[in-house]
Amino acid sequence: MRRFDEAPAGIISKVNVTPIIDVALVLVIILLVTAPMMSVADLPVDLPAAHTREAEDERNVSITLSSAGELAVDETPVSGRSFPATLAARLAEPGNEEVLVVIRADAKAPYERVSGLMDTARAAGAKRIAIATRQTAEAPR
């Protein structure tokens, strides 16, 4: 007579999928880590063009940089020396603690200057910064 607490000495007929799932998850993690590194191309690009959607019903502070190097905060033209103080005063206004600062730079403006504007905005108290791009029509699929 057979006891119930003993396992039968038969053939294992089910496939153990745990190792297969482990291998698949490791491959997914490797793919997620390496994919961003492979997406950078060494080709020249015209960066200000992008397919984006507009920020809807959101208050923001706009910083404009022309190709000649002229600056404006919202609609007010400012000099390079008074720019940090003007931006800090605008961000210190009531209700502007979490406002989005949008940098609108000309495509011919040097990247170093745009980066400097981002640093100045962060130092003036901006918590959220975005760079505006011109919208282009999406190609038909």
> How many structural domains is the chain composed of?
1
Beta strands in 9-127 (DSSP E): 49-50, 60-65, 71-73, 76-78, 100-105
Q: What is the pLDDT of residue 27?
A: 94
Q: 11, exposed or middle or buried, with CB in 10 Å at 0-12, 13-18, 19+?
A: exposed
The H-or-E segment that residue 92 falls in is helix 83-92
pLDDT tens for the chain, residues 1 to 141: 556 666 666 777 788 889 999 999 999 999 888 877 665 444 454 455 555 555 444 578 888 888 778 888 887 888 888 888 888 888 888 877 788 888 888 888 888 888 888 998 899 888 888 888 776 655 555
CATH at 63: 3.30.420.270
Global confidence as pTM: 0.54
Residue 37 domain-assigned? no
Which structural domain, as residue segments, surrounds residue 96? 49-135
Residue 20 domain-assigned? no
